[in-house]
Structure 1
Amino acid sequence: MRSEWYVRLHRALVDLRARRSAPEVADRHLRSWGGLDDGLPRLVGDPTSGGVDGGAGFRDVVPILLAAGRDEDVHRLLACERPAGSGRPGMVNVWFDARHRVGDVDGYLRDLDAARQRAREATDADVAAGRRPASLGLEMRYALMRHCARAAGERVHDELAVLLVETGVWDATRAVSNARRHDGSEDRCRALLALLPYVPETRKPGVVREAMVAAVVKAGNGVRGGASDPLVDEVAPMLPADDWPRILSLAEEDDEGWPPTGSALTALVPLLPVELMGRALTMAATLPPSIHRAIALETLAPRLPAVLAVHALPAAREIAEPEYRADVLIALLPRLPDDVAAPVRAEARAVVGAVNPPVEGEYPVRRRRWTGLIPLLPVEERAAALAEAIAGEQDAEGHAELLAEVAAELPAAQRGLLLAEALSVAGRITDACGRARTLIVIADLLPPAAQAAALAEALASARAIGASVDRAQTLMSVSERLPATERKALLDEALADARRVTDDGDRAYLLTEIAGLLPMDRQGPPLAEAVRAARAVVDDDRRIELLLAAAELLTGPERRAALAAALEIRLDHVGYETFFNGKVLDELAPVLPEDLMIEMLEAVRDTGRRGYLARVLHDRAEHLSGAALEAGLAMARTITGRGRARQRSAALTALSDQLPAQRRTAILEEALAAAREAGSDLTDIAARDIHRWWP
């Protein structure tokens, strides 16, 4: 056994060698960038060269030099400059520019803090010794540089970043670094995708990979999971084939909390290469045996070869809730080999029969599973399963609906007997409204030659409905399925019933719906009645919903009056920023004419909240045109004051997209000037020196 002194000596020698070799590593990096004496010309020419070796050069040089006592070299490194270029005045700090381009402003700030601390220590030592502190100016300089760096390193708006690349002010590297500064994974992904056309071909795979990682993280935030995610679907076709295993690994880490949901996995499953199905199945099987495992397995099932489908059965059988276990067994059945499928069919029937309660609220939980299972059974097994399913229905309406739903899943040639039985059962439904609606569903599944009789029976049932509101709605449904020659009289009948409805909201809804089925020359009177009824509705949300529905069919002054009434309601809430700028404008902005859009913008402006106005202009720019667009531009220019330049820039950038090319350029120049102002929003002393360090 080696003595303790030997071990300590060995460790000391290792540490000494490391300390002696570390400055050599730093010097090697500095030489590779062209040397401090010459101003790091290679780093100036290719700022990303410092990111090689996992960014070790950027990360290690300053700490190594400080640890070696080479403070002066650190100060020289942090003071290196180059001309701004691209026609811009002033100088650019080389070290900041390089770190900024690779998205490591935080690393640059750490270097500044370390250098400033060393300067502070020198200042304290001079003061303690009674000497003039020569390093005090350096300490102040680093404080100023840090202030400037934080402002210049802030993320600019995504549209503006694209513009900066298009105009050559930024290169793609800096723009991608800007996109990475998004906190939200969805925003980060979309920003990266917007920059993809400007990224060099050799770097595109890496940017696509980053975008997919962000998309998977976003998908992994889903609570319930699902078969697809639009963002993942958008990125997937661009992803290099050899990146899929890495992306699937990321899906294993999609849940920070407990229990895992498998949301990212289910978003990826429809897109994965076939060779990764086995690994995806293993991941799905490790999810908790609940709805989340069921969704993942159900999503996987259509893509599994027979051997993997068999391997999925144990994971399916562990799912506790019968309805979810049934979903997976039903999804796996078409993928199983015949010798395995037969017992699984029997198992699935038993599980579906055990679903309890059969109905949750108005949703027929058990019936929906029978509807999925019975069409997958061999013909000789269907009758027994159907009888078992029918036995679980409580009334004739549920019985008939079950038959119709099973028939809808079968090929047309196999529907005849089921639909004939469904018609017979529907005739026994005692409630006229339920009978009529069930007959309409069955009629839609019948061949054209057989539909007339079923619709005649549905019409007779509709006329027997006691409540005017239900009778009018059912008559409308029947009329939509009749030839045009028979439709007019039935719509007149429905219109008469609608006018007898006493509830203002129901009456407005029915009158608008019936008007939509009438020829245009007959729509005016019922729409006018609908607007009057809508105005009488007490609930604001319901009233505006009805007014907007009527406005879709109206034209001219009548349309404007309906929209003005809707806007008047919503302007009562203009002070509630999040509500008004979100839900309310989603309804109104796409349909308001120019004059009402101006009225809306003026109401937002008059709240006196400039940030609120900037958000409305930015988020709703696509709906502005003509006079409203000009008003929006004028209002955007009023968004001034401390900290408002960034908001003004974002609003102008969004509005510029609605302008012709020549004017768009002029507005974008304003936006760019505002963006630069945002980067310079410092104290008076910092403002005097910012262009010395950053563009």
Structure 2
Amino acid sequence: MEIRLLDGVEIRSDQGEHKLKTRTQQCMLAALALSPRKPVSVGKLIDCLWSPDNPERKQARKPASTIQTYAKHIRGALTRAGGNSAWLDSRSRPGFYVLDIDPMLVDYHRFLILADAAQQARDLDRFEEAFALWRGAPLAGLGGDWADRRREDMIARHRTLKEHHLHALLDSGHADRVLQELHVLVEHHPTDEFLLLGVRALSALGRHIAVPAWRDRLTTLMRQIHGAEPSADTLAHVRRTIAMPRRLSPAAPRASNGLPAELPEFTGRQAVPDVVPGSPAVGVQGHTVIPVPAGPAAVSVENAVREHRQVTDRVLSEGFTGRAWVLAEIDAWLAGMSGGYVWVAGDAGVGKTALAAFLVRERGWVGHFAGLSRGATVRVGLQNLAGQLVRRWSLADIAPGAMVPEWAFTPEGFDVVLHAAAKRARAAGSPLVLVVDGADEAETDGQPWGLPFVLPDGVFVVGTYRTGHPPPRAGGDSAVVRLAADDPRNRLDVEAHLRAVLPPELAGEDVIAALSDRCQGVWVYLRYAVEELRNGVRNVRDLATLPPGLSRYYTDTVDRWSRSPAWDAGLLRLLGVVAVIGEPLDAADLALAADADETAVRRWCHGTLRPFLAVERAGPTARRFAVHHTSLREFLNGRPLDDLGAEEDWHWSETLGAAASTARHRIVDHHLGRFGGLDAGLPRLAADPDLLTAGSGYAVRHLAGHLLDAGRAEELCRLLAVEGRTGNLWFAAHEHADAVDDYLADIAALWTHLAHRTDEALAAGRSAPTLVDEARCALAVSSITSLTANIPADLVVALVKAGMWTPSRAVAHARRLHAPPARGLLLAALVPFLPDGLRPAAVAWALAAARDPVTHITGDVLTRIAPHLADVADAVSIASRIRHGGWRAAAQAAIARRLDGQPRRSLLRDALDSAMSVAGEHDRAEAVRRILPELPDDLVDDAVSAAASTAPPREAPRPPIGALLKRATADGGEPARLDELVALIPTGSDGDLAEVLAAAPGIADLDARAVLLTAVAARLPVGERPPVLTAALTAARTITATSDPADAEVSAAADRQTRAGVLAGYALPDQRTTAVGHGLPPPPARTLSEILAMDDPFRRARALASAAPGLADAEVEVALSAVEHLPEEARTRALTGLVPVLGSAAHLARAAAAAPSRDRGLLILVVARAAAVLPGPDLVALLRRTMRSVSRTTCLALLDRAAPRLAELAGPGFPDGIAAAIDDARRWWP
């Protein structure tokens, strides 16, 4: 049975349609079906059926009796359709009717449920299923004010979900489809959002020339239909798009001098040039912007950005009323400043988050909300803002390969990102505005979220904080806008909002005045009161009993609840749970956390607590709950909103605070108990790793945070150090669950906590034993970084094909690779084996990685992903920049399969020309042969002639496998011979394969062993592959030093000294490891001004290094700024000479940031100098930043250089503690 509200109102079953006799009966069915399982009063039904001035209402002498008659007809139709007449209930609550059915039986609700689920999952197939239900106009055939209003609401909801659908299509590369749908939609519903979607789609297709026509069409339609024009912000965005340089690829185009085309040209000589040829560094208003290559801990742009719709949709669910006066004040301050902070100070619950959400959603400003998961932390906040800035302003130099580097998530690094974005914004003629909500909730050290003390010109921050907290400091222009609850303008907004949201029967002026008076201008209080009225919890006659003010309202509410039997039966425990949970939970999980009856918890969530909870769908028939407003969360945690005055206030502060604290411990104990107990070593988790993600997987994301909040940091240290059969148990369980990023988040949370304790101890002049635990965190992160980079791409693909790794796990692994070529190649190799929902994103990530830098590997990546490309023009542009003719030809020929007609022929002609450009007869012939099957007949003749004119293929005798194995397993096996072995595997006999498997354990080069075993596994029957692949994975996962001889010496020396240093008295620094083989140049012979005037950056680098020992203090700053502008190769040489004369924490931090990402020796030199000249706290801060994005070998070397000073700061237990940490890391990640 189904109730249809779309394209008419009817009840249908397998037997056909079961009609109701009149339009008013259909209207009553619609009113009930739009609110299934919710009571609808007789008065509201009467208003729905007949408007007050409708003559039919006057003719119906007894409307309530008529409603009863209609109900009888509806029950009859339900019964005939196979349903139950009891579904339409009027007995359980006199004066109300309830249609007690599953919402999925109503086509409109089924549409909403499917579309909401599709939006959350970005699932295109589910979107299609949802929109297939939208058969026609909602409530077709029904007239009257109520039907018209609801029809408009339903159409608006459909339009909003269609916008989400189009965004998902566009993000998945279906720009053509988006344009097709928009051309139809805008004829009836031209909006700003559809205008911007069309601009995005046209830009994605490279059709920038069509943008002005699209803008003009939408502007005309909006004038004709709405009598309005696109907003100023929308039109400004379109103008920026039109003004953007035309290009096929999103990568920044390069001018003839190698510089990004967007950068200004400089002529003449400058003392410190803003741009140096060959370097991506840029000078911005005297500030050095140094794009550093993404390190191993880099995060993809899409992972860095936190989706803010979970906040904006929730707080703007009932619209945004008034606030014109606040917006005008903000705009006035922005117009009057060249850049700076505008803070909105408001009382608790007065609508600060709604204001911020409005600015982010409607004006398109970059935003961050403290209410996001872990959103109060500096790292999450800066990661979110940096990711949005990189995406908004195409900062490819900051985030090469669409990967945002770890340094960008620090206050110092974010300042660099902000200056780069500001430069792009100024070039576009647009202000750059960041919106940050909840500054009073952010971590307290320094500025909220580590925002700069002084903002660049043209950059503004609009932030909110609660009245009573001091406004954040600022070094430039700043202003404070007051949003006070008792402001008369706020009261007028409150009353306007009430008129908009109250149902007609409650919207009397006396009711509005009473609510406004009792709520005292606090919007969240208003929401609670309106919800109570809507749900029948409170009667209009009870409004006078509402207490004045939000704090008193909370107190009176919990006092009323405490007199109920439910209080001791679990309601108090449930309040403690919702006060502390890190994400919404369903009733079953809440009941477990509260140790309460699930039925009772479900009843409380849907009844008693419902006005106070935010709700999100957990599936078609389930919902999750969390506290709606921060003020209530604070109240339930025992932190009062006002000063504690009366004894009652003290009582509830202590009672609720204790309940919240107990809830944290109960949640922790519940999950640790599920895993078998921490003291016992988590035996159940060791036996069944799936326990980690059982249910909602809450422990994966939040157990570490609850341990810290409960004051059980030592237990978190123990949890992260539990040892299992195969190494670190907590890591192994996360890896099994494809949740390594969550494990790293646990490490980051602990490290932040430890850093606070360390800094507090050092500031107080005490020893800081937590330095040992910080070193453990650094070793764990660096070990996982090394582990990720060690596993060969072919092995990852083989693990997916064998079913030993899931596709999502393999893609997550690939995206953690820090080198763009390696990341792109693995993603491309995985694409054929990915499910449809994951493939488009993987193709986009592979393309982004292949774009920067363009190498011969780019050709391999493009060849592999060509069948799945969405943006062919972009791929053609990238392929044309590949220098190697053979790989360029292969990529062009593969991409040509996606084209037709003349474009295909033209690209194949280019491919043939590329192949013919290859040097060497044999290589040229091979390049031509590879593309031959793709060429049209008339080009084949040219290709064959070209290939025939070259020498025949080289013939080489096939070496015996046994001889190659003997050489490979000898001491110092020959790598070249191992390559020959791998090449022979595909054609080897079964005997050859058996011989290789028997000899493989004797190959000392573990990387080569892993590659060889992977090749052998591909030849074996499917059932025999897992043990061979497991052996390959074991070899690959063994962290070894680099194969480069020079680096190997450094690694070995650092390793020996680390062990000796921490255990036996700290060896002196080795000159080879500190200078990295860069001998100092001859003594200085030029002045600094002469050096800076040199054109050649490499000569300038050598001269700066030579001059460094004789520089005055003021000249050191100038020299360091000049060094930061140098290309990487030259920068290393210059810094090697300059670092030994740096004496401040700021200068050494800049040197570490400027060090090329893989120059271990230079980082060691910086840390060694810091250990010699910096105070303890500054040394520790520098070491933390330096160790965050390095391999384990580098991490060990850095710890070794700092070990003597760290031992002084940490106390007598440091040598034994650091030795144990090193042993653990090697044992867990060998």
| TM-score, length basis structure 2 | 0.22
More strand by share: 2
Q: Which has the higher helix share?
A: 1
